[in-house]
Structure 1
């Protein structure tokens, strides 16, 4: 399997931390030297290992923000 190349361009924040020390983060990541995308996944403390995650374009992130803003969290 080919090695995946990545570069974290900007770190926006940590959503949570697991008991093993992995953090779920929102970052701007360039994968294989391509245009950076917004990326949500778990990382080890050294950012050398990662879980599966999702990547979003700017337009997708804007749409996600609209959807999340419309959720009534008090109905749960």
Structure 2
């Protein structure tokens, strides 16, 4: 399997952290030298290992923001 290349361009925020130190984060990530996208997933403390996640374009993150703002808490 080919190695996946990534670079975290910006750490936007940590949503939660597990007892083992893994953090669920929203980051701006460039995958395989492509344009950075918004990325939500769990990372180990050194950002060397990651869990499965969701990658969103700018337009998708704007739409998600609108949806979340419509939720009454």
TM-score by length of 2: 0.98
CA-CA distance at 1:64 after TM superposition:
0.1
CA-CA distance at 1:72 after TM superposition:
1.2
In structure 2, the gaps of 5 or more residues are none
The answer for the alignment partner of 2:22 in structure 1 is: 22
Aligned length: 73
More strand per residue: 2
More helix per residue: 1
In structure 1, the gaps of 5 or more residues are none
- Cα distance in 1 for residues equivalent to 2:4 and 2:72: 38
SS at match of 1:52: strand
Where has structure 1 moved over 3 Å in runs of 4 or more? none
- Cα distance in 1 for residues equivalent to 2:53 and 2:20: 18
SS at match of 2:52: coil
**RMSD over equivalenced CA pairs, Å:** 0.4
CA-CA distance at 1:44 after TM superposition:
0.1
The answer for the alignment partner of 2:9 in structure 1 is: 9
The answer for the alignment partner of 1:58 in structure 2 is: 58
